[in-house]
Amino acid sequence: MDTILALFIIIPFVGFVTSLLIPEKNEKLISGVAVFATGMQLFSTLVFLVYWVIAKFPTLNIKEQSIYQSGHYEFFIDLYFDKVTATYLLVGAILTFLIATYSQYYLHREKGYRRFFNTVLFFYLGYNITIFSGNFETLFIGWEILGVSSFLLIAFYRDRYLPVRNAFKVFSIYRLGDIGMILAMWMSHHLWHHNITFAELNNYDMVDHTLNEHLYLSVLISFMILLSAAVKSAQFPFTSWLPRAMEGPTPSSAIFYSSLSVHIGVFVLLRTFSFWEHLVGIRVLIGLLGLATSIAATFSGRVQSSIKSQVAYSSAAQIGIIFIEVALGLETLALIHFASNAFLRSYQLLVSPSVVTYLIREKFFNYMPSTPKQDPAWLTKIKYSLYVFSVREWHLDSFMFRFLWNPFKKLGRLFSFFNIKIALGLLPIYAAGIFFYHNQQYLSAWVLSMLPTTFAMIGFLMILRAFVERKNPVNSWWLVVFSHFWIALAVLYNELFDYSHTAIYLSGVVVSAIVGYVSLRYLLKREPGTDLNGFYGHSYEYEKLSGVFLLSCLGLAGFPITTTFLGEDLLYSHIQIDQFFLALFVSMSFIFSGLALIRMYARLFLGPHVKTYHQVGHRSS
């Protein structure tokens, strides 16, 4: 039975790769592959679950593949199956097959037909990797795939302004969840001194001993897990990204932001429940977050003018209640609630066009004005105040911008002098850092302890400068590349870290940097005057170049398509637990590098086309 688990990863992977090879014009074959792959997954799921029930619900755990092993460190793929996985697998298989069947007619003759099914199958691959993950490393692979596929589906109508802008907003919030997951992985390495599996977390004696010996570290890990879950499931104060994610096609909204992807935060909490269930403060915090989200999202949903936004807020409110159920330890109830909410919201979105038509017809022929009620003055003031707060979505967007992104943007602008020449001018300092690494006897212990954090800070400042770059894309690109080398130097000073680990990390960086730079120069040579001050929509004329540059950005950002992804995990395994600022600078560098690169891709290749002889979507569309 254990060997069958890999089949649920292989089927969507084969379907995704096959769909990439089909010509754009062959709609029937494109949708046929998607329907067949999701249908096979659904059939396999039903057969396997029957066999699993007959076998009396065994918990399965299999170490599928060891990717890299060195000394005390091992990066391996681990698959895990229990009733949580079974519920998510069944719901995901039914809804994805339904959406694939629905979309082949709904998107008929839509430009980007193949791109839509490619992205849906890519999402489904990431979804299955996530729900079958048996450790944090495997979970993070699926987690990253979900984030990128979300960006691509929200920006599906890439010739319009708002879908592209909202896609980047959602991706920005997702990166906050990434930093929570990265830091949780880092701290867990040092807490257990190996890549802990979720099966091991079910060992009560081991967890109890860990909590007694390392209470504060356990609380920090639990808080980072909660941060990741809250971001992914659009919980307070991150709720505002969910209605903005509805800019994509209705089928993608139905499968992503009302049913499957938005419930991954709940999955993470359920999967790690055995670790934090004895931490009362964390459980109370989860319950309060769920309660705040339910109240705020309910009010906001009642004043929305679009059905998609209403469904989005309704889904977030129900997930808030599921958070409360998880905090209370009601796992079975939470799973039932998840399945019910997923099916209901998908149904509501899929029938929303018909509902809109029906409501318009009813109001046109049978309009009845409502009679105003006379309420006390104090009650009227409260109602109006709640209405204004709800319409403005509790100012969550402005809150995130003012207190999170704006300070980093201001800091990045302070280093506006930072360019490629300055970065090259720092090479002597970099060479000195390598020299003193081999000759540490010339430096005091205090200086040696400060060097890693200093080098990581230099890399982070380069990333911030790239993040706020408005003029020169090449400058932004190379600043991101150089920052990776400074980060590698920072971690090189830690014990047990050698050049082979550095080579694993930087090899993916170098390949991605070269391919991305060549693509960038090719574009700038043919489109002079292109900068990062607006959206240019060059994917219309350079579609293949757009795909190559996107892959280069993902590889440079540490997405699991190059050795950089493995190298990042290697880096964290060598950052000591008392080097919190080093871990923070490295984590922030990874997060903002992803934002800078995706922002560069979006501005160069997405949005309304800059050339007036192409069709341009209105800014307010």
Q: CA-to-CA distance for 392 and 379, rounded, in angstroms?
A: 20
Q: CA-to-CA distance for 16 and 250, rounded, in angstroms?
A: 21
pLDDT at 360: 60
pTM of this structure:
0.90
Q: CA-to-CA distance for 424 and 551, rounded, in angstroms?
A: 26
Q: CA-to-CA distance for 26 and 6, rounded, in angstroms?
A: 30
Q: Which two tokens stand for residue 364?
A: 């046109």
pLDDT-derived band of residue 287, with 50, 70 and 90 as boundaries? very high
Indicate the SS3 state at residue 65.
strand
Q: Which two tokens stand for residue 391?
A: 């319409």
More confident residue, 459 or 378: 459
Q: Which two tokens stand for residue 417?
A: 């002098």
Encode pLDDT of 101-111 as tens digits.
988 888 887 88
CA 559 to the chain's CA centroid:
11
Q: CA-to-CA distance for 455 and 431, rounded, in angstroms?
A: 12
Type of residue found at 205? D
How many residues are recorded in the chain? 621
- Whose CA is closest to 554, among 606, 504, 516? 516
Top-confidence range, 349-353, 377-381, 514-518, 556-560 = 514-518
Q: CA-to-CA distance for 481 and 483, rounded, in angstroms?
A: 5
pLDDT at 497: 59
Q: CA-to-CA distance for 190 and 208, rounded, in angstroms?
A: 17
pLDDT at 97: 93
Residues of 489-499 as b/e, b for ≥16 C-beta within 10 angstroms? bbbbbeeebee
Q: Quote the percentage of the chain above a pLDDT of 90.
A: 25
pLDDT at 333: 94
Residue 63 DSSP one-character state:
E
CB 136 within 8 A of CB 185: yes
CB 55 within 8 A of CB 81: no
pLDDT reading at 621 higher than 50: no
pLDDT at 44: 92
pLDDT reading at 345 higher than 80: yes
Q: CA-to-CA distance for 367 and 288, rounded, in angstroms?
A: 41
CB 549 within 8 A of CB 605: yes
pLDDT-derived band of residue 512, with 50, 70 and 90 as boundaries? very high
pLDDT at 447: 83
pLDDT at 535: 87
More confident residue, 507 or 611: 507
CB 218 within 8 A of CB 210: yes
Cis amide leading into 237 (omega within 30): yes
Segment 600-608 shows an average pLDDT of 89
In the block, tokens 């890299």 appear at: 68
pLDDT reading at 449 higher than 90: no
| Concatenated DSSP letters of 459-492 | HHHHHHHHHH--S-HHHHHHHHHHHHHHHHHHHH
Q: CA-to-CA distance for 508 and 519, rounded, in angstroms?
A: 17
Encode pLDDT of 381-411 as tens digits.
777 778 777 777 777 777 777 777 788 888 8
Q: CA-to-CA distance for 64 and 66, rounded, in angstroms?
A: 7
Encode pLDDT of 43-97 as tens digits.
999 999 999 999 888 888 887 677 777 766 777 888 889 899 999 999 999 999 9
Segment 512-534 shows an average pLDDT of 90
Encode pLDDT of 228-272 as tens digits.
999 999 898 888 888 888 887 888 888 877 788 889 999 999 999
pLDDT reading at 155 higher than 70: yes
Using CB atoms within 10 A of its CB, is residue 437 exposed (0-12), middle (13-18) or buried (19+)? Answer: middle
Q: CA-to-CA distance for 250 and 246, rounded, in angstroms?
A: 8
Type of residue found at 45? T
Q: CA-to-CA distance for 478 and 480, rounded, in angstroms?
A: 5
CB 123 within 8 A of CB 153: yes
pLDDT at 573: 78
Segment 216-231 shows an average pLDDT of 90
Q: CA-to-CA distance for 484 and 597, rounded, in angstroms?
A: 13
pLDDT reading at 617 higher than 60: no
pLDDT-derived band of residue 128, with 50, 70 and 90 as boundaries? very high
pLDDT reading at 620 higher than 50: no
Domain spans of the chain, in order of start: 2-359, 415-605
